[in-house]
Structure 1
């Protein structure tokens, strides 16, 4: 049997990549080094900003960079690929067509968890790139779930937490998040997806109730099981 090796194409951002790998470690049922999942991490911090590239920049250049990273990990013997960046999944199906190892589709897997839980309407907290390209709306629609994107004034707060705070090494504003939370509940959302890995980092710092499903958590668990390892019971 071929040794399973997880490839993480990260650097989008680097703090999110570090947080993601910690979740892999935390959720693996391991009692010694040798029971953990062999992992190769390529933190490509020179990757163009995905939102800027998709919404008006060099989307093709961004895609080529992602493909280069994916192939690097594939050549490194990785048997499963994860990209802890939601916006980059705009390119996920195209990437999968050009590599021979499975790419775990974070938005698709996350929406699958919501569908299994019987959710009917959820809020999407993500970058402008993820929201405007409809990455999560498409996956939700395929599973009969209504996806609610924030209005412009609330979306600005989401982007501010991501870009002005977390990506700059700050912990994120509780006050801004409280406004976002108020809107979600007033809009009748039964829950919300943390659909940006910087928001996953925010959750690591501050903690959030189960109302929020963290796409990074879903991806971490799927990586572990896809490689044939067991999840630690929590």
Structure 2
């Protein structure tokens, strides 16, 4: 079965998803890996701008990508862009293929890491926060979701995401670490990296370990969900 990856939002995040899907798949040879198709379309209008009313609707471009992946033979879809999930219902209604939801994947990863329902922190785009994608879905499962205050969003999180999109992930690490530390200080027992640019700016290693609580990388969480779809027995 072929997995369709609706990417390009941004291009580096989509490419990172494909790399992590490959690295996380239990495989001893080429033939053990999951066939996938990457539709990387960076022309999709900015999702946060659309949600905040300052840019065009991305849905037509998202649907074009879904149709292209279906026509090419995909049998399920993943979208390594959190904010794009604000249009999830419309996409799923228009697409006969199952679309794996990134917030559901993050919830599974919280449980995988032993994070019990309680207070968790969320780093995400302004659009994702405004749409309450994580707040509503995770609160229904018992988690209280803490988000950065406006000053931290404008001073740390949004510039960090922009730096990754500009190909400078190393320029975002200190800002993201500061934002994560603020959430932990406010009582978060885990931090969800709810924008697929953020794991690139706060990579595995010393910077992420310094957060001091479990960290959910939504690129990895979505990759694990895709592996579970393709290899149910794994």
- TM-score of the pair, normalised by structure 1: 0.90
Equivalents in 1 of 2:117, 2:142: separation in Å? 9
Equivalents in 2 of 1:146, 1:115: separation in Å? 15
How far does the alpha carbon of each residue in 1:25-69 deviate from its partner, in whole angstroms, 9 at most, with x for none? 10111122221111111100111111001111455x311110111
The DSSP-based 3-state class of the residue aligned with 1:122 is strand
Query: Quick check: 166-175 or 144-153, which moved more?
Result: 166-175
1:114 paired to 2:126: no
Change (3 A) 1:114 1:229: closer
The DSSP-based 3-state class of the residue aligned with 1:12 is coil
Gaps of 5+ in 1: none
- Corresponding residue number in structure 2 for 1:154: 152
Equivalents in 1 of 2:52, 2:232: separation in Å? 38
Q: What's the offset of the Cα at 1:205?
A: 6.8
Alignment of 1:71-220 (within 5 A): 71-114=67-110, 117-156=115-154, 157-163=156-162, 165-170=163-168, 171-204=170-203, 207-209=207-209, 211-220=214-223
The DSSP-based 3-state class of the residue aligned with 2:197 is helix
Gaps of 5+ in 2: none
Residue pair 2:135, 2:145 contacting (<8 A) in 1 also: yes
Query: Quick check: 174-183 or 210-219, which moved more?
Result: 174-183
The DSSP-based 3-state class of the residue aligned with 1:123 is strand
Aligned length: 226
Where has structure 1 moved over 6 Å in runs of 4 or more? Answer: none
Change (3 A) 1:173 1:45: closer
- Corresponding residue number in structure 2 for 1:226: 229
Equivalents in 1 of 2:233, 2:25: separation in Å? 6
> C-alpha root-mean-square deviation of aligned residues, in Å?
1.8
- TM-score of the pair, normalised by structure 2: 0.90
Equivalents in 2 of 1:73, 1:26: separation in Å? 23
Equivalents in 1 of 2:180, 2:42: separation in Å? 31
